[in-house]
Amino acid sequence: MPLAPPPGVAVPTVLVTGAARRLGREIALALAAAGWRVAVHYRSSLDDATKTVADCNELTMGAAAFYANLDDEMAVRGLLPTVVQTMGHVDAVVNSASTFEHDTNVSFSFAAMEKHMRSNAGAAIVLAQALHTHRAQRQQDAGPGSQAAAALRLGAVVNLLDQKLWNQNPDFFSYTLSKAALEAANTMLALALSPLVRVVGVAPGLTLTSHLLSDAKFEALHKLSPLGRSSTAQDVASTVLFALQNQSITGTTLLVDGGQHLMRFERDFSLM
């Protein structure tokens, strides 16, 4: 059973989007194991979110699930205040949820681009804004120059990107555009939200398989890197934890891909 924190010590709290399944779940569990209370965001996977919450609570008590459709701006704007209302405070946001649908320059449409931009870039930016507003209010409530204000850790936003941005191919056109927009936003947000909130990108390589790949094909593609292996879910989760803990990192991206961004792939992994 997890131990309660000492009296007067606030347990750090993180909102992880898309935390019900896959990589978001692994990140949530790693942060819970490191002592973070986790707000588990989900959209359609309530049963999976409930399990993630239960598993997080085995590690650090206080996890809870929160529904929001990240395509809906008003829903996104209400998400972090809802988490604050339930959990008391939020110290960090990890934007892991992602729309990933195939299109090319031939099948590209405004609708496809907007769908990816809303959930992959717009939602992440709005949540970063909301965290900054919340952190500023906490500092104001603590009193400028007070010991309580000085004790507040910097807020942090970690945006999950993709090695694909440094190794581009024409597949998943709208998805790639949305991640490129988010990578640019990292720099702008790091400047705009300092000194209260840090903003860091984490860019995995091929990490988890999907219905598009057989197990054998995934294993072969996973080895295509200078190091002979790409990222594992644990690699990515530990990097997110490092980004949250290191108070000197902002406005940059950590590539966690075994060096896959150094290679040239003519097609997306799923189409190779």
239 three-state secondary structure? helix
The answer on pLDDT for 27 being more than 50 is yes
pLDDT tens digits along 117-172: 999 999 999 999 999 999 999 988 887 666 566 556 789 999 999 999 999 999 99
pLDDT tens digits along 46-105: 999 999 999 999 999 999 999 999 999 999 999 999 999 999 999 999 999 999 999 999
What pLDDT is stored for residue 65 in this prediction? 98
What pLDDT is stored for residue 5 in this prediction? 44
Q: How many CB atoms lie within 10 A of CB 31?
A: 27
The answer on pLDDT for 23 being more than 90 is yes
What pLDDT is stored for residue 148 in this prediction? 60
64 three-state secondary structure? strand
Please tell me the distance from the alpha carbon of residue 17 to that of residue 241, in angstroms, as a whole number. Answer: 15
199 three-state secondary structure? strand
- What phi and psi values does residue 38 have, to the nearest 5 degrees? -115, 125
The answer on pLDDT for 30 being more than 80 is yes
Q: Give the residue ranges of DSSP H helices in the chain.
A: 22-33, 46-57, 73-87, 110-116, 123-142, 147-151, 173-193, 215-222, 233-245
What pLDDT is stored for residue 146 in this prediction? 64
User: Do 16 and 94 form a contact (C-beta atoms < 8 A)?
Assistant: yes
pTM: 0.93
What pLDDT is stored for residue 53 in this prediction? 98
Average pLDDT over residues 248-254: 98
What pLDDT is stored for residue 207 in this prediction? 94
Average pLDDT over residues 12-20: 98
What pLDDT is stored for residue 141 in this prediction? 86
- pLDDT band of residue 2 (cuts 50, 70, 90) is very low
User: Do 202 and 243 form a contact (C-beta atoms < 8 A)?
Assistant: yes
What pLDDT is stored for residue 151 in this prediction? 58
- For the chain, the average pLDDT equals 93
What pLDDT is stored for residue 154 in this prediction? 87
Task: List the domains of the chain with CATH numbers.
Answer: 13-271 (3.40.50.720)
Min mean pLDDT across 106-115, 123-132, 178-187, 209-218 is at 209-218
